[in-house]
């Protein structure tokens, strides 16, 4: 079974740990992230074989939602 994520921010969920934040702290957290390559596809199975650890895979559609999720639940 091949799992693909068509959004670069999904990679952030796999590798980035940040402090839990709300309000103004959330904005500071969001500023720590930068957008990845356009049209990037991450093969989760290959990444796990290479040593990556899947922290979570929430269903998010927008870049900002993904980063906000990382900030709220590192």
The mean pLDDT of 49-55, rounded to a whole number, is 90
The DSSP element (H or E) to which 30 belongs, if any, is helix 24-30
Output the pLDDT for position 18.
Answer: 38
List pLDDT tens digits, range 5-16: 555 555 454 444
* Residue % of the chain over a pLDDT of 90: 9
Q: Taking the chain, what is the end-to-end CA distance rounded to the nearest angstrom?
A: 27
Least confident stretch, 14-23, 30-39, 43-52, 58-67: 14-23
Which region holds residue 3: left if phi is over 0, alpha if psi is between -120 and 50, else beta? beta
Of 22 and 54, the one with more pLDDT:
54
Give the span between the Cα atoms of 16 and 20, in whole angstroms: 12
Mean pLDDT estimate for the chain? 70
């Amino acid at each position: 079974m091949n799992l693909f994520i068509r959004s670069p921010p999904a990679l952030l969920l796999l590798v980035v740990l940040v402090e839990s934040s709300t309000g103004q702290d959330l904005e500071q957290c969001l500023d720590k992230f930068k957008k990845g390559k356009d049209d990037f596809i991450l093969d989760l199975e290959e990444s796990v074989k290479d040593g990556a650890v899947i922290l979570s895979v929430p269903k998010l559609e927008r870049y900002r939602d993904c980063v906000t999720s990382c900030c709220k639940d590192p």
